[in-house]
Structure 1
Amino acid sequence: MESTTLEKETATELSGDFPLFDKLKNYEHEQVVVCSEPSMGLKAIIAVHDTTLGPALGGVRMWPYNNEQEAIRDVLRLSRGMTYKAAISGLNLGGGKAVIIGDPRKEKNEALFRAFGRYVDSLGGRYITAEDVGTDVQAMEWVRMETKYVTGLPKAIGGSGDPSPVTAYGVYKGMKACAKKAYGSDSLEGKRISIQGAGHVSSYLAEFLEKEGAELIICDIYEDKVNDLADKVGAEVVDPDDIYGLDVDIFSPCALGGIINDDTMDQFNCDIIAGAANNVLDEEEKHGQMLLDKGILYAPDYVINAGGLINVASELEGYNEERAQGQAEKIYDTILDILNYSEENDTPTFTASNILAEKRMSDVGKIHNIYTSQSNFTGHIGDLYKHANL
């Protein structure tokens, strides 16, 4: 096995012409690890963005990226988003993410994920992995065979299981908060809602919305998945290319990121954008402002989809489903706070959420400057000097 670690300190010593180091500088990452095991087909990248609040926790995504640059861009943006997601959710965790380049429908296997687990273990707890797009509970079991730094494990062995239901519940509550702001009522009954994607989270979200009486329209690149979900919730199916221009009340992106961009912006014909996908703004500042100018209410993705992180993070303290669900419930109030701040300060919602998240990181970061003896003190005063490096 071979790995290469690219740290922030090293970046300043190398040429600024290399795009990766420009990204590290702009996003302020602490560390990027490139993992390779050709015999097992493993090509992975682990990105640790910020550990101010605690160890970096974030899922591992498996996807057939078109090229390595696309994978690097994705993991850097996703890991940064995890930092802000943990901060705004009140969790004592930092932000990290991993991507595995490959087709999860064809290349997912035990050897590959155990090899990935070895690389996670080599970071000594700086990064804790979990399930994400293209991976599942079985994959986390394989990772667990090689490292303890993994969450989202099966309930049968004390884990929280699939985080998708809690993620979907958080998106559902956040969507209702958006409706409250936009329409004066948080009821979604009779609302036309388009959902991009028919994966695990989309499926649970569609069930919540169908039970409330929403009119659903869905799409996915996999026909079998979208047709199965449509039959289950009575939804209309449309071609993936047509999803952006539909006349709907709410558009819910629940697939991959970057879909709010120069090509799609003029197509949107909705009041609200609120979904489970990460990094849906292709360029945060540019496209966030454009949504504000168009009068479209946007729920920052890393806030509204934080239910999954809340769920797997609760494993670290001993999983309690009721507690995780209760924490996800608070996404409703968090979204309302952000929307109100955005309106009061005439600023895009993503800016409002970033400001609130950064304030918590700054405040808690100052606490870490206070010296403590950690947990080494046994009651003997000599132990203080032994462990204080005096």
Structure 2
Amino acid sequence: MDPKQNASFDGHEDVVFVGGEAQGFAGVIAVHNTALGPAAGGCRIWDYDSADDALTDALRLSRGMTYKNAMADLPLGGGKAVIYRINTDRVEAFRSFGAAVEKLGGKYITAEDVGASVADMRAIAGATSHVAGIPKEHGQAGGDPSPMTALGTFVSIKALLGGSVQGRTIAVQGVGNVGFNLCKLLSGEGAKLVVADVNKVNLQRAEAFGVEIAPVDQIHAVSADLFSPCALGAGLNAKTIPELAAPIVCGAANNQLATEADGARLVERGITYAPDYVVNAGGIINVSAEYLGEASDVVEARVRAIAPRLLRVLETAKSENLTPHQAADRIVRDKLAAARKG
């Protein structure tokens, strides 16, 4: 399988297939860009239909991390790992994955992502120091990054709704770790929540917030003040965009636009789209602070700065007649070009 033949290959600096029968797992590590620093991005555990699908996701997600980290002004490049098969003891599998990360010599920093846990990060740490997402002593940044991802999404939603969510209806697609924490924040400030998730356990947890439950295939079409995609990517596409009933889309999912054309489709419908990698940077901000040994109190301030940054991106889009994701991409490309020039 040649990564360069994959349609999602975007000049990636390194793509490594990791694991095998002896290691008891199989996965891909994709390093997209290190112009700003070592490539950082989580390790996603998912049951992909094929190894090629796993590669495609790793390529897309790693590129997204380059843009997310640059937009958040972090000294990090973009990378991502996906594990699509585990057929041995989980601790042993993650320790073997950690050994693969170690072989990259610090080029890639891994962390928790969909399907992974803090316990998995501890196992990885048994084989490499290039990992974040491990609880630290009081006062130090670290641990599960999902609450910070949720906080960044929350402050972005508030900014787009004029500073308050009181009495506003928010449709949340996906109430896993990030979506659950987002619902907790929204509910705490008086929002009305309509949610959907394929996982019944996640829905049961979310019921604590008095949510209304919608079918998974209809949540995007719910009449709401804002639609918040917090599940997997490509949810904004040629089929769903015509069905959207909310005037604003702002969520924590990665790669929400299925294609470049979908950004234009949203504009044509008069729907405000908050570029995903601007909004959902809270987790990687937490990871960066942990890896750099910074104090936890700096993390929240940086995460709350996501909201004004988002508003600036939307202003740029409006003033320069760009779609929001085009405006965000241009800002990042300028940063990367400046970094390459030294």
The two structures have a TM-score, normalised by structure 2, of 0.96
- What SS is found at the alignment partner of 2:201? helix
Please give the root-mean-square deviation of Cα atoms over the aligned residues, in Å. Answer: 1.8
Q: 1:274 aligns with which of 250, 254, 269?
A: 250
Q: Distance in 1 between matches of 2:327 and 2:89?
A: 39
Please name the residue that 1:372 is paired with. none
Deviations 1:229-287 (A, max 9, x none): 12x1110111211112111111111110011112212111111111111001011x200
In the alignment, does 2:106 pair up with 1:125? Answer: yes
1:186-225 equivalences under 5 Å are: 186-225=163-202
How much identity, in percent, do the aligned residues show? 39
Q: CA 1:318 to 1:340, structure 2 compared with 1: closer, same or farther past 3 Å?
A: same
Aligned partner letter, 2:256: V
List gaps (5 residues or longer) in structure 2.
none
Report the Cα distance in structure 2 between the residues aligned to 1:165 and 1:209, rounded to whole angstroms.
Answer: 13
Q: Does 1:83 align with 2:101?
A: no
Deviations 1:82-110 (A, max 9, x none): 0011111111110000000048xx97710
Letter in 2 for 1:254: C
Larger-Rg structure: 1
Q: Are residues 1:302 and 2:313 paired?
A: no
* Residue 219 of structure 1, CA deviation: 0.9
| Deviation per residue, 1:177-216 (Å, 9 max, x gap) | 222xxxxx22111111011111111111101100111100
2:18 paired with 1:43: no
> What residue is the counterpart of 1:176 in the other structure?
158
Q: What TM-score, normalized by structure 1, do the two folds share?
A: 0.84
Question: Would the aligned equivalents of 2:25 and 2:88 in 1 still touch at CA under 8 Å?
Answer: no
Counterpart of 2:212 in structure 1 is 236
- Partner residue of 2:8 out of 4, 8, 23: 23
The correspondence of residues 1-390 of structure 1 with structure 2, limited to 5 A, is 11=4, 19-20=5-6, 22-24=7-9, 27-102=10-85, 109-156=90-137, 160-179=142-161, 185-230=162-207, 232-283=208-259, 285-367=260-342
- Identify, as 1 or 2, the structure richer in helix: 1
CA distance in 1: counterparts of 2:23 and 2:202, whole angstroms: 28
Three-state SS of the structure 1 residue aligned to 2:194 is strand
Give the partner amino acid of 1:334: R
The Cα shift of 1:164 comes to 1.0
Number of matched residues? 341
Code of the residue aligned with 2:215 in structure 1: it is D
Q: State the Cα deviation string for residues 267-319 of structure 1 (Å, max 9, x = none).
A: 11111111111001011x20001001111111110110000000010012213
Contact 1:160–1:319 under 8 Å retained in 2: no
Q: Which runs of 5+ in 1 are unaligned?
A: 12-18, 180-184, 368-390
Instruction: State the 4+ residue runs in structure 1 displaced beyond 4 angstroms.
Output: 156-159
Q: With a CA cutoff of 8 Å and minimum separation of 6, indicate the structure with the bigger relative contact order.
A: 2
1:54·1:94 contact (CA, 8 Å) conserved in 2? yes
Query: Which position in structure 2 is the counterpart of 1:384?
Result: none
